[in-house]
Chains A and B, each alone.
Chain A
Amino acid sequence: MDWWIWIVVVVAVLLVLAGSAAGVQARRRSGGVIAVRRGAIGRRAGKGRVK
């Protein structure tokens, strides 16, 4: 194989890794609305998972 093909491969791998890391980080920092039920402290059955 030509030497430049290895450069293309390395760059492609780095791009995939960077994209994956960015995706994981975006997921870690993404927000939402978490529902809890205050009247049910200590009772797991009373705390509803809505999703």
Chain B
Amino acid sequence: MTAPTHEPGPASSSAMMLASEITKRPVVTLAGAAVAQVKDLVFDGTAGRIAGFTLSGRGLLSGPLRHSLPWSGVHGLGHDAVMIKDESVFESRADVLERGSAGRGDVLGSRVLTDGGTDLGRISDVVVEVVEGTTAHVVGYEIASSDALDRQGRKVFIPLSETTAVSGEALVIPAAAAEFVADDLPGFAAAVQAYRARRRTEV
């Protein structure tokens, strides 16, 4: 895998994107028709990957659509559009969000706690690493920092462990992750690599 970058790169590179940059991106078929736009990212907290997208219509007055886009139906996730083969890849919203999942919720606004019980702040965005436009993993969070991070409430980026699962009312991360906080997205790529290397040596 090549080093992550925040800049748009060639098809073989990986790139880091914020979830807020992906939402409202048009969903375009390979025939060139813009058939929807991304509403929500569906984050599989167990695997740490993007499981799909909920969709809304393209018109100003249109609302959420009944069907959603599973990740398996994504042909490519680029900086300007989400490409799909055609509309046959859509599945029902329930299938993408998991049938009967009444307890799902928005990650944004959740509190981040270390396993030592320190409140690091609240999640304001999610950092997604897209590899070659075909694989997307959640690698960290943008958080509005608390006093514990000594960043005067600024927004910072904190890496997500591959083994960290999202559950409950808060996201609990290892205390060591707080040592790898980055102030910007380009610097965050290096922080993620350093944090993963540190985790590997601990296992």
Interface residues of A (CB under 8 A from B): 25, 28-42, 44-45, 47-51
Residue of A nearest to B41 (CB): A33
A34 pairs with B100, CB closer than 8 A: no
- The dominant DSSP class at the B interface is loop
**Which residue of B56, B97, B169 contacts A36 across the interface (Cβ within 8 Å)?**
B97
Residue of A nearest to B61 (CB): A25
A47 to chain B, nearest CB (A): 5
Give the interface residue-count category, chain B.
Answer: 35 or more
Q: Does B40 contact A (CB under 8 A)?
A: yes
A39 pairs with B61, CB closer than 8 A: no
Given contacts A25-B60, A38-B47, 11 further A-B contacts (CB under 8 A): A25-B61, A28-B63, A32-B40, A33-B41, A34-B105, A35-B43, A35-B107, A36-B43, A37-B44, A38-B46, A49-B169
Q: Does B101 contact A (CB under 8 A)?
A: yes
B64 pairs with A35, CB closer than 8 A: no
B98 pairs with A34, CB closer than 8 A: no
Give bound CA distance, A16 to B93, whole Å: 33
Stretch at the interface among B3-11, B81-89, B160-168, B192-200: B160-168
B80 to chain A, nearest CB (A): 16
Residue of B nearest to A27 (CB): B63
Give bound CA distance, A32 to B101, whole Å: 17
B169 to chain A, nearest CB (A): 7
A34 pairs with B43, CB closer than 8 A: yes
Q: Does B23 contact A (CB under 8 A)?
A: yes
A20 to chain B, nearest CB (A): 14
User: Which residues of A lie under 8 Å from residue B110 when comparing CB positions?
Assistant: 50-51
User: Which residues of B lie under 8 Å from residue A44 when comparing CB positions?
Assistant: 100-103
**Which residue of B24, B54, B109, B168 contacts A34 across the interface (Cβ within 8 Å)?**
B54
B103 to chain A, nearest CB (A): 4
Contact A48:B61 (CB < 8 A) given known A34-B107, A36-B45: no
User: Which residues of A lie under 8 Å from residue B51 when comparing CB positions?
Assistant: 36, 38
